[in-house]
Chain A
Amino acid sequence: MDTNAFTTVTTADPLMSVRGLSKFYGTRIGCDAVSFDLFPGEVLGIVGESGSGKSTLLSCLAGHLAPDTGEVIFATAAGPRDTVKMAEAERRRLARTDWAFVHQNPRDGLRMGISAGGNVGERLMAVGARHYGDIRAQAIDWLGRVEISADRIDDRPSGFSGGMQQRLQIARNLVTGPRLVFMDEPTGGLDVSVQARLLDLLRGLVREMGLSAIIVTHDLAVVRLLADRLMVMKGGYVVEHGLTDQVLDDPQHAYTQLLVSSVLQV
């Protein structure tokens, strides 16, 4: 669907504007001709099955993968900039300050050999924090916010449960107060009861910090509870895009209809 067909009343500048983004693996399509705007405080869900291009898209947006064509314009402190054309060092700085990336597997986002407090403190030191007492105090504060008790601060995450590791990864990512969080299947390998707790935590953080987020998942129940807007991908293309409950309750595209009608009801 063409987003330009909508009339817009609210007047904020987008935090991220994506235009004509494409990534090919040889002749195979990763994702093609993706365009959208993300506004401050908005949560965008991207759904689709394995191979639909949703992870490729997320990697291109977060600067982990260079797209073949297209623009990813981010509202930096110094004004809108195309992150695709940025120097690598500048993009890395953005990834440390304004962005955060929550991986499906906490092992990809944590340093397993250092303590929980060290994991959180390391992000702070990367943006210039030097005072040990302050760093430790902030680490304790954040462990509390993700419901990890302060007496585990010196333990290594390798001894944590999957749900705790995921919450620690979120604390490590959010401690520096980013404006945009990329999440790749954040509730992926977790038990449903742990998922619910994580969803509640994420909703609260999005609200309190005014965060924007782009969440890739194949779980329609997760996006219904977390995302304001939804993009449905198939074969590298965005086939449908709109308000989350509209896309799920009144899907227009054949593929979305199939996806929604295939969910088992409990």
Chain B
Amino acid sequence: MIQISNLSKSFTLHNQGAAVIPVMEGAALSVEPGECVGLIGASGSGKSTLMRMIWGNYLAASGSIMVGGLDVARAAPRDIIALRRRTLGYVSQFLRVVPRVPTVDVVAEPLLNLGVPVAEARARAEALLAQLNIPERLWSLSPTTFSGGEQQRVNIARGFVHPYPALLLDEPTASLDATNREVVLTLIEAAKTRGAAIIGIFHDEGARARLCDRLVDVTSYTPGPTQ
């Protein structure tokens, strides 16, 4: 489902003396349907950079990133938009929403974008919010004022409301209590069972052990100090 080969990336900081910072070289990774691969490596080694390149908001310098048959490294913007709509889901650590939009609509939006009727989209969003223990009295409020753990669960609900064949999960259990962590782990296991290809960053070692079929240390793709 996801095949990455010979991927490299550098940042050019034009306003800081045009400094070129190589951050990744020769990255390769393949994820089959139903498989979960965990990215490991110290802070700053490029785990999030790799995730963002797969999502398409970081440009690859060279190499290819095949997701469901589309090379994200070379695809036109509208093809990436279509990929994100149907095929590739992303649970980031940050919730970015239009202020004042009710939580239930925030979660239902990916379904509405796919043309699912409003009532059905809302019903599916509500079921997921209930499963994630977001109190019903909060569903009609904007999530911008929620606690960190609640916002994270809203983000997770958004990422799981449509059965994406490929999923990127950036620390999905980071700020959750034991009960909600268990709910999220169960959701991820169910996604694996239905055949989703998953790439995740899990600092939570228990979650990593339970979910990941393989671990990839991105440090091996970090360019060495240049001479």
Q: Is B225 an interface residue (CB 8 A)?
A: no
- Complex CA gap A258/B81 in Å reads 26
9-residue interface stretch from A56-64, A88-96, A113-121, A223-231: A223-231
Task: Give the distance to chain A from B103, nearest Cβ to Cβ, in Å.
Answer: 13
Which B residues lie within 8 Å of A42 (CB)? 78, 81
Which A residues lie within 8 Å of B82 (CB)? 9-10
Which A residues lie within 8 Å of B59 (CB)? 242, 246, 250, 252
Among residues of B, the one whose C-beta sits closest to the C-beta of A262 is: B15
Please provide the chain A residues from 237 to 257 with a CB less than 8 Å away from any CB of chain B in the complex: 242-243, 245-246, 248-250, 252-254, 257
- Complex CA gap A261/B16 in Å reads 12
| Residue-wise interface mask of A (148-179) relative to B, using a CB-CB cutoff of 8 A (1 in contact, 0 not) | 00000000000000000000000000000000
Residues of chain A at interface, number, CB under 8 A: 34
Task: Tell me if A6 and B98 are in contact (CB < 8 A).
Answer: no
Task: Tell me if A224 and B96 are in contact (CB < 8 A).
Answer: yes
9-residue interface stretch from B29-37, B68-76, B147-155, B191-199: B68-76
| A257-B81 contact, Cβ under 8 Å, with A6-B75, A7-B76, A196-B99 | no
Which listed residue (B13, B14, B77) contacts A6, Cβ 8 A? B77
Please provide the chain B residues from 55 to 90 with a CB less than 8 Å away from any CB of chain A in the complex: 56-59, 70-71, 74-82
Q: Is B100 an interface residue (CB 8 A)?
A: yes
Q: Is B28 an interface residue (CB 8 A)?
A: no
Which A residues lie within 8 Å of B11 (CB)? 250
Which listed residue (A193, A196, A243, A253) contacts B81, Cβ 8 A? A243
Other than the known A6-B74, A10-B76, A249-B58, what 14 A-B pairs have Cβ atoms closer than 8 Å?
A5-B74, A6-B75, A7-B75, A7-B76, A8-B76, A8-B78, A200-B100, A200-B101, A225-B98, A243-B77, A246-B57, A249-B57, A250-B52, A257-B13
The residues of B with any CB-CB pair to A shorter than 8 Å are 11-15, 52, 56-59, 70-71, 74-82, 96, 98-101, 112-113
The residues of A with any CB-CB pair to B shorter than 8 Å are 3, 5-10, 39, 42, 192-193, 196-197, 199-200, 203, 207, 224-225, 228-229, 242-243, 245-246, 248-250, 252-254, 257-258, 261
Top 5 A-B residue pairs of the complex, sorted by shortest distance between their CB atoms: A254-B14, A6-B76, A196-B99, A245-B57, A243-B77
